[in-house]
Amino acid sequence: MEIFHISAECYPVAKVGGLADVVGALPKYQNNAGHRVRVVMPCYDTKFRKENEFECVHWGHVKLGNFNFPFNILKEQTDKLEFELYLVEIPELFDRKEVYGYEDDIERFLSFQIAALDWIIGRNEIPDVINCHDHHTGLIPFMMLYCDKYQKLQNTPSMITIHNGLYQGQFGFDKLYYLPEFDLAHVKVLEWDNCINSLAVAIKCAWAVTTVSPNYLNEINYSANGLESLFNLVRYKSKGILNGIDVEVWDPATDAMLEKNYSLKNFEKGKQENKEKLCNLFNLDPSKPLFSFIGRLLEEKGGDLLPHASALALSENFQELNILILGSGNAVIETQLNSLLSDYKGNYNTFIGYNEELAHLIYAGSDFLLMPSRVEPCGLNQMYSLRYGTIPIVRRTGGLKDTVIDFGDDGNGICHDQASVGDICYSIQRAVDLYDDKKSLNKIREIGMKTDHSWGRVCQEYIDIYNLIISKK
């Protein structure tokens, strides 16, 4: 089967969050299962772009109203990611360091989608299926169905995978003329709540809708930032498929970013060596339990609760635990977290920024991983931490609920229900007690390390849906 994934992120080319990890891994597993898989994404000014060889396989112009943007399609030469990678180069719009956050993001991602489709229809073969990811690619299913110049794709199934329904890519009808020509009888399809809503458009037009966990699919029927009723309407073509992880990249036995590799056989010793390295780097106490947070410092991830929860946990258990935070995001949260540094020196530290290598060391060297998310469509960090023998402490929401079960119910982690400082601190207290009971602690770590969260296990579920929509042609 010939599959196209179209996405704004893909690890290791450009990463902001978990979307990149999924689009960097799922295609590889599909490719290795015998399918021909291509990933198409914008060409940002990243290290990967500079350090790798590309060949220009197509060029053209995107017309956005009165604007005209030349573009190139660049193919990575070696297929070293184990799938074919294509970058859509639109220098004026994407030759920048960041993936998102610019005033012209609407123009950027619309041009990207148009350039990608222009190239796809110009090729000899039509793909069997086009899998779009999140709102940045949400207009593609509409354009395939209704835009005159993409008529050739009218009968090609498209699927939207929703990694985060909070972000929907809305814009005003004043920009309607940016879209390639289509019969205005279909203009209503673009509308949700008086705007053009890219995610809503994809949900309406795609032949199938998937979310990144089954529980998240249930949740968005009653909480989806205004799209609840739409999700209810399309249940017949929706499915929640739990994400997997790339168990080649995420393997404590071979991970080159660790101080010491380890497996189920020697994890106690292996984890301790990584912990010592980490504690050395961050001036923490390796004899005390180490709680870490890795991720974007946003309300959605419960980041705003971390400063207060950390201060409370540290003052109640002074010197009985360590907390380490790696992440960036909201500037107020970053400042609040840094303001605790002087009070809890020796037991608390932060690294404000993104550092993939450090993240690996933290998964290996920590005892517990904090994930107090308000919204977590799937969450990958809890799966990485389970694989590295680190016990996740999660709020029961989205995919966290699908993957983490409280140790009180013979599970693999520690769970709480509220996104509140009180609930986080209560869980931390339970973890501190558990840490003293090494036999139970190790048993729970083992359960986590033994769980198979590999894409190998779930990759077929995607293929099954593709087959289902192909059969409806």
**Residue 404 binds to ligand GLC (criterion: CB under 6 A):** no
User: CA–CA separation, 160 vs 138, rounded Å?
Assistant: 7
* Least CB distance to ligand GLC at residue 339 (A): 27
Distances (CA, A) of 422 to 73, 232, 309, 320: 51, 34, 8, 18
The stretch near ligand GLC (CB under 6 A) out of 220-228, 303-311, 374-382, 441-449 is: 374-382
Instruction: Please identify which residue in 99, 378, 386, 414 interacts with ligand GLC, judged by CB under 6 A.
Output: 378
Whichever of 200 and 241 has its CB closer to ligand GLC, that residue is 241
Q: Which is nearer to ligand GLC, 4 or 216 (CB)?
A: 216
Provide the minimum distance between the beta carbon of 382 and ligand GLC in the complex, in angstroms, as a whole number: 9
Closest approach, Cβ 166 to ligand GLC, in A, equals: 8
The 3-state DSSP class for residue 299 equals: helix
CB of 379 to ligand GLC, least distance (A): 5
CB 11, min distance to ligand GLC, A: 11
d(CA 281, CA 302) in angstroms, rounded, equals 26
Residue 113, SS3 per DSSP: helix
Number of residue whose CB is nearest ligand GLC: 18
By CB under 6 A, residue 380 contacts ligand GLC: yes
CA 17 to CA 37: how far, in whole Å?
22
What is the contact mask toward ligand GLC in residues 281 to 320, using x (rule: CB under 6 A)?
Answer: ----------------------------------------
* 243 scored as a contact of ligand GLC (CB under 6 A): yes
**Of 104-112, 122-130, 371-379, 422-430: span binding ligand GLC (CB under 6 A):** 371-379
The number of residues in the chain equals 473
What is the number of other CB atoms lying within 10 angstroms of the CB of residue 119? 19
Ramachandran angles phi, psi of 430, nearest 5°: -60, -35
- Rounded Cα–Cα distance for residues 232 and 238 (Å): 10
# binding residues, ligand GLC (CB under 6 A): 14
402-425 residues labelled b (16+ CB within 10 A) or e (exposed): bbbbbbeeebbbbbbeebbbebbb
> Smallest distance from the beta carbon of 170 to ligand GLC, in angstroms?
19
Q: Is 15 annotated as a binding residue?
A: yes
Instruction: State the Cα torsion 378-382-384-389 to the nearest 10°.
Output: -160
Q: 3-state SS of the chain: helix, strand, coil percent to 5? A: 45, 20, 35
Tokens 């795609």 appear where? 206
Q: Which is nearer to ligand GLC, 16 or 33 (CB)?
A: 16
Q: Are 46 and 95 in contact (CB under 8 A)?
A: no
Stretch that binds ligand GLC, among 199-207, 233-241, 376-384, 437-445 (CB under 6 A): 376-384
165 or 289, CB closer to ligand GLC?
165
Q: Residue 171 carries which DSSP code?
A: E
Cβ-in-10-Å burial (0-12, 13-18, 19+) of 162 comes to buried
Q: Please choose, from the candidates 345, 281, 348, the residue with its C-alpha nearest in 3D space to the C-alpha of residue 310.
A: 348
Distance, CA of 451 to CA of 454 (rounded, Å): 9
Both tokens assigned to 376? 């977590």
Q: Is 377 in the site for ligand GLC (CB under 6 A)?
A: yes
Q: Which of residues 316-345 bind ligand GLC (CB under 6 A)?
A: none
Residues in 2-41 that interact with ligand GLC by CB under 6 A: 17-19, 22
The CB-of-446 to ligand GLC minimum distance in angstroms stands at 24
Q: Which is nearer to ligand GLC, 153 or 160 (CB)?
A: 160
Q: Which is nearer to ligand GLC, 164 or 197 (CB)?
A: 164
- 3-class secondary-structure state, position 336: helix
The residue (of 221 and 272) whose beta carbon lies closer to ligand GLC is 221
Question: Considering beta carbons, is residue 160 or 432 the nearer one to ligand GLC?
Answer: 160
The whole-angstrom separation of Cα 84 and Cα 121 is: 18
Q: What is the nearest approach in angstroms of ligand GLC to the Cβ of residue 298?
A: 10
* Nearest residue to 396 (alpha-carbon basis) of 412, 366, 430, 373: 373
CB of 272 vs ligand GLC, minimal distance in Å: 29
CB of 316 to ligand GLC, least distance (A): 30
Interaction between residue 387 and ligand GLC (CB under 6 A): no
Residues 146-205 that bind ligand GLC (CB under 6 A): 163-164
Beta carbon nearer to ligand GLC, 163 or 204: 163
**Could you give the count of Cα atoms lying within 13 Å of 41 in the half-sphere of its Cβ?**
27
Binding residues: 15
Q: Which residues bind ligand GLC (CB under 6 A)?
A: 17-19, 22, 163-164, 212, 243, 376-380, 399
Please give the annotated binding residues for ADP-alpha-D-glucose, written as ranges.
15
